[in-house]
Amino acid sequence: MPEIRCEDCGCLFPENYLIHCCENCGGYFDFADLPEFDTGAYTPELPGIWKYRSSFSLRNPELVVTLGEGNTPFIWDDPTTHEIGFKLESLNPTGSYKDRGSAVLVSQLLARNVFSSVEDSSGNAGASFAAYCARGGIAARVYVPEQAAGPKRRQIEEYGAELVSVPGSRSQAAKAVIEAVENGDVYGSHAFLPFGIPGIATIAYELAEQTEGRIGTVIAPAGHGALLLGIMRGFAALVKCGILDSEPYYVGVQAENCSPLSLAYRYGLEKMADVFEGNTMAEGVRVSKPVRAKAILKHLSAARGEIITIAEEEILPACSHLAKKGVYAEPTSALTWAALNHMNMEIPRPIILIISGNGLKYYPI
Ligand SMILES: [Zn+2]
């Protein structure tokens, strides 16, 4: 089972309590190695992602908080050519891929006897966190920017979490939750805590099964980066154990108005310090200081891939194009379709788009 270590100073994550960043140096915690993928350890009697439970590094393997997340449909854009495919993460229990991470995260919180927790989010992660906390019996408080999409805020409240709408940008909500943590609340952060990443890696395991290993390129939105990183680690784990010969080509997509990963990819991590949190309807990637930036760049430098940006005026037409195919995606997810127009025609086929969130959660006017 891979250890969880500070990615800067290497100290181990504490055994008996929860912290969101390193007490020694302020660095982020992450797994020191890939998830341990073992087909001999499948638990198919459990739903969705829990088939791969042995790869989750669970503190208590018997403690499972699930709403049936994972095992989402995969469809080809054109079933006769198999050129472009859609992984419909929008059909998870709360309408986004976040559920894969939340199920593992909340199971890990309960295994550490956390029964009350705070979280911050642009919307999807907060809704997902609220749902799994409701399922697990954890009292949740979720901080969101006040401009977060109405359906997401409604979802958070309906699941029974306390919703705190914070005026200003996404980073203001992040500051507000840190104040709560400094006053003693437990921060069940989907961004800082790495627990959910092996859950997100199950997207790769499912894709390998659903396409029978035929995956040329994977395109995914990138905000904090856990989606892209989880997928990359999932494929790397499949290569490591010999199920796949090589990892696919990766494309992370950001909104042009807030694109720290793209800058870091081109000019180095230090360039992220200057990034302005511009407004974008792709609210799920409106993150100016992505927690997993260093890990993503490290993986991309070892594998093949790139980070690209999409202009604001390209996003709504991409939503409409997807909808005309019957795929109702929120703007953040439609970045992946818009990305196709920016791709070198030589990128490996087939191309898989990760439809990360449901259009029902976002109504642009
Ligand atoms: Zn450290």
How far does the centroid of ligand 1 lie from the alpha carbon of residue 292, in Å? 15
How far does the centroid of ligand 1 lie from the alpha carbon of residue 196, in Å? 20
Name which of 41, 37, 104, 39 is nearest 67 in CA terms: 104
Q: What is the pLDDT of residue 93?
A: 98
- Give a yes or no: residue 208 inside a domain: yes
How far does the centroid of ligand 1 lie from the alpha carbon of residue 12, in Å? 9
- Give a yes or no: residue 324 inside a domain: yes
3-class secondary structure, 163: strand
Q: Do 70 and 48 meet the contact criterion of CB atoms below 8 Å apart? A: yes
Q: Do 231 and 261 meet the contact criterion of CB atoms below 8 Å apart? A: no
Q: Are residues 246 and 141 in the same domain?
A: no
- Full 3-state SS string of 170-208: HHHHHHHHHHHHHCCCCECCCCCCHHHHHHHCHHHHHHH
Q: Are residues 338 and 229 in the same domain?
A: yes
Q: Are residues 186 and 227 in the same domain?
A: no
Q: Are residues 87 and 107 in the same domain?
A: no
Could you say which of 192, 226, 249 is where a domain stops?
A: 192
How far does the centroid of ligand 1 lie from the alpha carbon of residue 146, in Å? 33
The residue range of the domain holding 103 is 98-192
What region does 155 belong to: left with phi over 0, alpha with psi -120 to 50, or beta?
alpha
- Give, in order, the Cα–Cα distances in Å from 104 to each of 98, 101, 111: 10, 5, 10
Q: Are residues 92 and 111 in the same domain?
A: no
How far does the centroid of ligand 1 lie from the alpha carbon of residue 80, in Å? 51
How far does the centroid of ligand 1 lie from the alpha carbon of residue 21, in Å? 8
- Give a yes or no: residue 86 inside a domain: yes
Q: Are residues 285 and 216 in the same domain?
A: yes
How far does the centroid of ligand 1 lie from the alpha carbon of residue 194, in Å? 14
- Give a yes or no: residue 78 inside a domain: yes
How far does the centroid of ligand 1 lie from the alpha carbon of residue 189, in Å? 17
Q: What predicted TM-score, i.e. pTM, was given to this entire model?
A: 0.96
How far does the centroid of ligand 1 lie from the alpha carbon of residue 317, in Å? 44
CATH number assigned to the domain comprising residue 132: 3.40.50.1100
Q: Are residues 262 and 177 in the same domain?
A: no
Q: How many separate domains does the chain show? A: 2
Q: Are residues 92 and 105 in the same domain?
A: no
Could you say which of 192, 222, 240 is where a domain stops?
A: 192
Could you say which of 161, 192, 223 is where a domain stops?
A: 192
How far does the centroid of ligand 1 lie from the alpha carbon of residue 65, in Å? 30
- Give a yes or no: residue 154 inside a domain: yes
How far does the centroid of ligand 1 lie from the alpha carbon of residue 29, in Å? 8
What region does 182 belong to: left with phi over 0, alpha with psi -120 to 50, or beta?
alpha
How far does the centroid of ligand 1 lie from the alpha carbon of residue 193, in Å? 14
- Give a yes or no: residue 332 inside a domain: yes
Q: Are residues 200 and 272 in the same domain?
A: yes
How far does the centroid of ligand 1 lie from the alpha carbon of residue 5, in Å? 8
DSSP 246: S
Q: What is the pLDDT of residue 364?
A: 57
- Give a yes or no: residue 37 inside a domain: no
- Give a yes or no: residue 35 inside a domain: no
Q: Are residues 153 and 254 in the same domain?
A: no
How far does the centroid of ligand 1 lie from the alpha carbon of residue 293, in Å? 16
Q: What is the pLDDT of residue 1?
A: 83
Q: Are residues 236 and 209 in the same domain?
A: yes
How far does the centroid of ligand 1 lie from the alpha carbon of residue 3, in Å? 14
Q: Do 334 and 235 meet the contact criterion of CB atoms below 8 Å apart? A: no
* E runs forming strands in the chain: 4-6, 29-31, 74-76, 84-88, 116-120, 139-145, 162-166, 217-221, 249-255, 305-310, 351-355
Q: What is the pLDDT of residue 170?
A: 83
Q: Are residues 206 and 336 in the same domain?
A: yes
Q: Which residues of the chain have pLDDT under 50?
A: none
